[in-house]
Every structure is written in C-alpha cells, then in structure tokens.
Amino acid sequence: MAQTQADVPKLRLTEVHKAFGDNSVLRGMSLDVDEHEVVTLIGPSGCGKSTVLRCINLLEPIDSGAILFDGDDVSWPGYDANAVRRRVGIVFQSFNLFPHMSVVDNITLAPRKVLGRSRDVATEQAMQLLTRFGLAEKADDFPDRLSGGQQQRVAIVRALAMDPEMMLFDEVTSALDPELVAEVLEVIRGLKDAGLTMVLATHEMTFAREISTRVAFLDDGVVAELGTPEQIFDAPQVPRTQQFLARVGRAGRL
C-alpha cells in the first residue's frame, strides 16, 4: 500500500462526466471530501447538484471519470452497488417514505433485510433514533399522517438506521413549508456535531454558511469555486459565483 489512510479522502470524484441523452449535466466534476467533513454544494438550478449526489449513491451510472470511496473506484460497471449503498445514506427532496408502512417499519426494513438484524434489535435501534429526533410518539403512524418536516426527519432516521459512513442530502428542505425547514436543519446540525461525513445540496445559503466545512459552487457541471464558507460567501473570486450570490442576495435568501 503506497498510500496511508490519511492520504486517501473519504470520497473523491475525478473528472466525472454524466449526460442524459444529449444533455451533459456533469462535465468533468472533481471533488474531495475528507472524513468528518461537511461539504455543501450550491449553484443555480440545473448545475448538477442533485445529479452528482445520485451518482455518488450509484443510482445513476456515470459516463466517464471515477468515484472513489476510501480509495476504491465504486463507479466501475459491475461494482456491487448495494455494498456502497449500505455505507452511504441519501435523503431525497421529496422524502420518498414507503406509504404502505408505518414509520418504524420504514426505518427497520433495510436493517432487517439487508443487514440481517432481528426485528427486536432493529426496532430498538429505530426507537432510539426516533427518540433522539423527537419522533418517538410517531413510530406507529403512517407517513401520510405526518407533516412534511416530520416525514423528512423520518427519512433521515431511515437512512441513519443503516449506520452509514457518509450521508448525502439532496435539497432536503426544498419541498417544505418555511416554518418546517428549521426542524430538519436542526437534525442535520446534530449529525455534524456527531462527526458524520456529509455532502449537501441546498438552497439555504445561511445554513450552508453555518454548517459547512467547505462550500463548492457548481456551475455548468463542474466545481467552479471551492473554499471555506467565508471565502465563498464573503470574498468569492470567480465572476459566476459573485453573480449567483448577488442574485440570491437580491431574492432575500442570503
């Protein structure tokens, strides 16, 4: 082994390309995420934020480049995608809870069927997580009975129940009423404090500034600018970043 553990980032994207038909969404995106880091992806609609997260979780195959997880290229065709997904959790914009299952069944399904945990063990762990996020009394409810914020918190718990080494958040507050956004962001803050490695795509600039170790401004399928929140939000160097943040600021979202 030439490289020591410290040299290998938790996640490394090298020159990732992804097109849907003729529409090139990722055009050579490169990015490193170290363990315990929180990297936020910001940028205009269609810049590739969601796509890159789906590619990291192998929900979309990439066309060129590599996605390295602990130094292993997991993006190569034929790599055991399920093995990667067991280690990387993802939370979607529209929650995607299973509507025919109670909250606790949503959470325990994968630990039982994929990790082979007994129902008792899985349920106990689910209840611990639900209690931690103030959802214990919702355990037996069906998703439709929950508010959007509660549903999204359950979706986060469902992903956490797999004990992931990394979490991906795909604009998880975009589908929520403004007064429900805070409760979801609070959960993500808690995860950062617990040291979880996270990659977030978000439109919540204030939150991005507060929570990120580093911020990546995505434009036209590449990382146009990368830096600490202070560098990106207070002194952006790239003109496209400056324009984007100015527009967002005018919309009152900064």
**Sites of contact with other proteins (CB under 8 A):** 57, 59, 81-83, 85-86, 89-90, 92, 94, 96-100, 109-110, 113-114, 141-142, 144-145, 158-159, 162
Shortest Å, Cβ 125 to other proteins: 14
* Residue 155 or 215 having the CB closest to other proteins: 155
Q: CA separation (Å) from 112 to 107, 124, 125, 161, 234?
A: 9, 12, 11, 10, 47
Q: Do residues 170 and 119 make contact, with C-beta atoms less than 8 angstroms apart?
A: no
Shortest Å, Cβ 47 to other proteins: 21
Shortest Å, Cβ 113 to other proteins: 5
* Residue 95 or 233 having the CB closest to other proteins: 95
Cα distance between residue 108 and residue 136, in whole Å? 14
* Residue 64 or 93 having the CB closest to other proteins: 93
* Residue 89 or 227 having the CB closest to other proteins: 89
Shortest Å, Cβ 228 to other proteins: 30
* Residue 124 or 163 having the CB closest to other proteins: 163
Smallest CA-to-CA distance from 54 within 83, 15, 25, 14 is with 25
Q: Which residues partner with 14 through β-bridges?
A: 66
Place of tokens 């978000």: 202
Shortest Å, Cβ 110 to other proteins: 4
Token couple for 13: 């994207």
Shortest Å, Cβ 217 to other proteins: 26
Backbone torsion region of residue 40, taken as left when φ is above 0, otherwise alpha when ψ lies between -120 and 50, otherwise beta: beta
Cα distance between residue 103 and residue 101, in whole Å? 6
Spell out the residues 6+ positions from residue 1 whose beta carbon is closer than 8 angstroms to its own: none
Classified as helix, coil or strand, 63 is: coil
Token couple for 71: 């130094």
* Residue 76 or 98 having the CB closest to other proteins: 98
